[in-house]
Structure 1
Amino acid sequence: MSRTGATDDGDELLIRLGTLTAQARAQAEVQRSRVELAIALQRGMLPRGLPVAEGVRLAVRYAPAYQGLNVGGDWYDAFTMADGRIGLSIGDVQGHNIEAAAFMGQVRVGLRALASVDSDPGELLARTNELLLSLSSDLFATCTFMRLDPATRVLESARAGHLPCVWATADGRSGVSDDEGGPPLGIQHGVDYPVTRYRLDQGGVFVLLTDGVVEGPSLHLDEGLEQVARLAGVAAVARLDMDALAAAVIKQAEQVGHEDDAAVLVIGHDGPAFQP
């Protein structure tokens, strides 16, 4: 082969490498833009403030975990309803991409909007389920919705395929709720979601969370929930600030062994006992 032929082959190879490099850079830029958009969607959909009510203490933590396009759709929400009660939700959309983040926004907004029509947790999840099915999306979401009456400290809860909540009382008792739930939102029509009623004892706490906090290759779900229950029990006995408890719970996400979103919503009460 002549020197000229070898030079031509080398030039062609350099041109091909340059083209591939440019394409890789363009794809990386698209990926980066999509991740930034997904993160913006996530953060934009989270509430900017939490409701305030006498004796009620709320605290939240949210840790988005992302690698490449692996951005999830976990969320929490808390808002005051028209009748003065507080609506609380936490959930997780199937999938880890920009579509999951966008779908999360639809679920959260749907819950808020429908809560103004029917605030019963079971009916609210049923209505939201039908709304999501009407969108004909391939995605689904797990969710827990609670309605808290600050005056009576009664918590009404319904679950759609989501993790049970953790509870603790000021006398040191703690555990994981065993309430009945329904299937995730967006899977089948005509589903009923049972409602379970709790009482938020003075000095007690409830912890709502997503599976990124308590489950992964390095931590079994039951073990993760038990660890959160122990943390909640210690916090209730020691009368720790709810923010401190939320921070301790979200730190547990470091033990699960994978990168995933993690959300925590803590509900506490430190006011005087209710007199009927």
Structure 2
Amino acid sequence: MPLTPADVHNVAFSKPPIGKRGYNEDEVDAFLDLVEQELSRLIEENADLRQRVAELDAELADAKKNRGPVAAVKQAPAPEPPKPAPAPAPAPMPAPAPAAKDAPSADANLQAAKVLSLAQEMADRLTSDAKTEAEQLLANARTNSERLVSDARTRSESMIADARQKAEAMLSDAQTRSDNQLRQAKEKADGLQADAERKHTEIMATITQQRSVLESRIEQLKTFEREYRVRLKSYLESQLEELENRGSAVPVDGGEFGEGASGNGALLKGGK
């Protein structure tokens, strides 16, 4: 089983026999306290590193879930972080022998040295394994993050290119439709203008024709008026002459009728 701070704390060494050399008990206890503290610190550091790796894995999973359209891009599965190799079980510590007057002090010194060496080796191994695992996990997380960023950038650039292409196609289609509508509107306007000009020409021709007819009619009426005046004048003159001739045929001393006729003739002459 792996060495724990409790093992270091609870270890007990037998005292050397009287007259034999041995380590100072206070110094050994102080060193064991340091070993216990360092081992506890390394275990806590290893636990913190494992927690940090778990947090990085959770953040990576959240990034994969929240990356939106990038999730559609097929990606190679992220390599699983290597599991730390289990620490080899330390050699079982020999149970402390009961204090005896004939136990050599060399055994106690050797046991203490083995415990210290084993504790130092275990601490170094835990530190190395924890650092290696943390560096590997951080490298994997960094690689996965860079790959996700690269995939997201590639996807974003592709989406931007597609959007730009669609926008250009829509703009070209709108321009084509606008040109067609303008051409049709111009053709319609030209047709309306040509039709208006044709109708104007027809109306003006009709007006000109009617004017000519009216002018001809007016000339006819003027001619008729002149001819009528001439005929009327001739008729009136002939009537006056006839009245004068009749008046001259009546005797001078004829009665009132003769005087009246003579007067009427004079009146007609005066009117002429």
- Shorter-chain TM-score category? under 0.3
Larger helix proportion of the pair = 2
Larger strand proportion of the pair = 1
| TM-score normalized by the length of structure 1 | 0.25
| TM-score normalized by the length of structure 2 | 0.25
